[in-house]
Amino acid sequence: MKYAFFIGCVTPVMARQNEVSTRRVAEELGIELIDVDDFACCGFPLRSVDVETSLLMAARNLSVAEELGLDICTICSGCAGTLNEANKELKENDKFRREVNEKLRKIGREYNGSIDVKHFATVLYEDVGLEKIKSKVKKSLEHLAIASHYGCHYHKPSHIYENREDPEFPTSLDELVALTGAKPVDYEDKMQCCGGNIVGVDENITFAIASEKLEHLKTVAADSMNLVCPLCNTVYDRNQRIIERRLNKSYGIPVLFYPQILGLALGIDQGELGFNMNRVKVSELLSKI
Amino acid sequence: MATKLDPKFKYEVANFPGGHNILRCFQCGTCSAGCPVREIDEKYNPRKIIRMVILGMRDRVLSSDFVWLCSQCYTCEERCPQDVRIPDVMDVLKNMAVKEGYIHPTFAKQAETVGNMGILYAISDFENRRRIRLGLPELPSKNLEVQEIYKTTGLDKLLSNKGGA
């Protein structure tokens, strides 16, 4: 099992725990993640400015992986969405592919639609499989109640993901949590967006949206949030203290990337899973294991 | 204040990729009812924005702050009974606004950074030294092929002309 590893722009600067834990878990499960220096931004930030440039950026990344003969594995839902959306259109629309290739040839590239793009969580869910992962669990996380935040681009828009799961009631992240022995918990407005995409336009709206979810997690007494996107993480983890101060609230809810949770269950040393990079304190949570 | 209406505006939007189903909108309001942004701030109301486009309120829409407030969560798109791809429509409107010289400074800055560096957040030497300490491979600090993509689509010129309209 081998993939071109698409780290994305946000993780290396704001969520190294995502990368550290993903690499360590991949190693444990025999998933080879190949580093590719030629990858650039996925194209997502350009959608609002110029969709054509955004699509070309995505197509360029796809062509880089195709040249290596590898499918792409991302650890950001924004990257997964942008690359999948472009990939679907490039595979299904011959005219569009020809037009894009005319432009890609100017930089000496071409894309023939031969690869797939998957988020690391989807690689775990579909390619490795729940049963195989479960068979490697060494330490049940039975004392933890974990609330999954699916975010938006991990599974939506559903048409770019071939309707892999119900956009209103997805289950994959909860199933991934359950196999660690932890209790997956439901909560109000589970599908709500983090609001991170407009933090640079009006952060008060983002923080108000995010505080609703933190409030709901507090109500169900979740030990931690489980997420798979570094942009969502910047809102809920990096900005949780700011949200608490601005809105005069108190949450203190740890925010973990799924590979950090799985890593604990696989018996990987806590020191190798990047917990020291989490902003909201995780010591109480870790003491329950 | 009298607003000049442009009856062709809706067709212009519908002709862009992703804008195609806007003419089907029958104003049920499902989009606005489920929108997490509108719940906090009435300024962003997707149903109303679509109505304004269909009425031809070109200048009001393209020069507005509200088109930049879509959080791209796709809740509306998944629920729309007429298959209007609302987040894509917002992208079309923002792209048109940019061509008219209206661009939100945050998005202008992001687009400029990606155009110069190829990535959204620069990886400094300091960052790479930290990566080595963490046992992570170094990352390239730039990807210059992206500059060529900007030249191909003309985004480099568009960004340098911004504010000129």
**ipTM of the complex model:** 0.95
Contacts of B39 in chain A (CB under 8 A): 209
Backbone φ/ψ region at B72: left (φ over 0), alpha (ψ -120 to 50), beta: left
Q: What percent of chain B has pLDDT over 90?
A: 92
Q: Which residue in A172, A237, A186 sits closest to A18, CA to CA?
A: A237
Question: How confident is the model at residue B164, as a pLDDT?
Answer: 43
| pLDDT tens digit sequence for A242-253 | 999 999 999 999
pLDDT per residue over B134-163, tens digit each?
A: 999 999 989 999 999 999 999 999 999 864
Cβ contact, residue pair B149, A53, below 8 Å: yes
Inter-chain touch B136–A16, beta carbons under 8 Å: yes
Is B73 in Cβ contact with A45 (below 8 Å)? no
The pLDDT-based confidence of A187 (bands split at 50, 70, 90) is: very high
Beta carbons within 10 angstroms of residue B159's beta carbon? 18
Distance CA A82, CA A80 (A): 6
The answer to whether residue A58 scores a pLDDT higher than 90 is yes
Name the pLDDT band for B165 (thresholds 50, 70, 90): very low
Are the Cβ atoms of A157 and B68 closer than 8 angstroms? no
Q: Per residue in A173-186, pLDDT tens?
A: 999 999 999 999 99
Per-residue pLDDT of B20-38, as tens digits, reads: 999 999 999 999 999 999 9
Q: Does A221 touch chain B (CB under 8 A)?
A: no
Percent helix, strand and coil across chain A, each to the nearest 5: 55, 10, 35
- Altogether, the residues listed in chain A come to a count of 289
- Closest Cα in chain A to B121: A9
pLDDT of residue A163: 85
8 Å CB contact of B73 and A35: no
- Count of other CB atoms within 10 angstroms of residue A135: 9
How many angstroms separate the CA of residue B119 from the nearest CA in chain A? 5
Give me the residue spans of the domains in chain A: 2-119, 130-282
Residue type, A58: A
* Token reading at A31: 């998933």
pLDDT at residue A241 in the model: 98
* Residue A2, CA distances (Å) to A5, A34, A199 in order: 9, 7, 35
Residue A229 touches chain B, beta carbons under 8 Å: no
**Nearest 5°: CA angle at B99, between B94 and B104?**
50
CA angle A91, A92, A97 (to 5 degrees): 60
Chain A residues in contact with B140 (beta carbon < 8 A): 37
The pLDDT tens digits of the residues spanning B97-121 come to 999 999 999 999 999 999 999 999 9
Q: What would the two tokens of residue A268 be?
A: 């990987």
How far is it, in rounded angstroms, from Cα B115 to Cα B145?
A: 9
The predicted pLDDT at position A29 comes to 98
Cα-based distances in Å from A164 to A156, A204, B72: 10, 34, 19
Mutate to test the interface with B, among A6, A50, A85, A207 (most CBs of B within 10 A): A50
The fold of A2-119 is Glutathione S-transferase Yfyf (Class Pi); Chain A, domain 2 (1.20.1050)
CATH, domain A130-282, list 3.40.50.11810, 3.40.50.920, 3.30.470.10, 1.10.260.40: 3.40.50.11810
Q: Tell me if A2-119 shares its fold with A130-282.
A: no
Residue in A16, A49, A191 closest to B98 by CB: A49
Task: Determine the residue of chain A that is closest to B83 in CA distance.
Answer: A159
Name the closest residue on chain A to residue B101, using Cα atoms. A49
pLDDT digits (tens, 9 = 90+) for A79-123: 999 999 999 999 999 999 999 999 999 999 999 999 999 999 999
Q: How close, in Å, is residue B69 to chain A by CA atoms? A: 6
Q: Identity (one letter) of the amino acid at B19? A: G
pLDDT (0 to 100) of residue A146: 98
pTM of the shown model: 0.97
Contacts of A39 in chain B (CB under 8 A): 143
Across the interface, of A7, A35, A201, the residue whose CB is closest to B69 is A201
Chain A positions touching B155 (Cβ under 8 A) are 46, 49-50, 53
pLDDT of residue B1 exceeding 90, the answer is: no
Q: What is the pLDDT of residues B63-80, one digit of tens each?
A: 999 999 999 999 999 999
Give me the pLDDT at residue A87, please.
98
Mean pLDDT computed over every residue of chain A: 97
Q: Tell me what percent of the residues of chain A surpass a pLDDT of 90.
A: 99
Element (H, E) at B152: helix B145-153
A56 vs B18, B98, B153: nearest CB: B153
A63 vs A150: CA distance, rounded Å: 28
Query: What are the distances in angstroms from CA B127 to CA A40, B131, B144?
Result: 17, 6, 19
The C-alpha atoms of residue B14 and residue A282 are separated, in whole angstroms, by 49
**What pLDDT sits at residue B4?**
87
Q: Is A39 on the interface with B (CB under 8 A)?
A: yes
On whether any CB of chain B is under 8 Å from the CB of A50, the answer is: yes
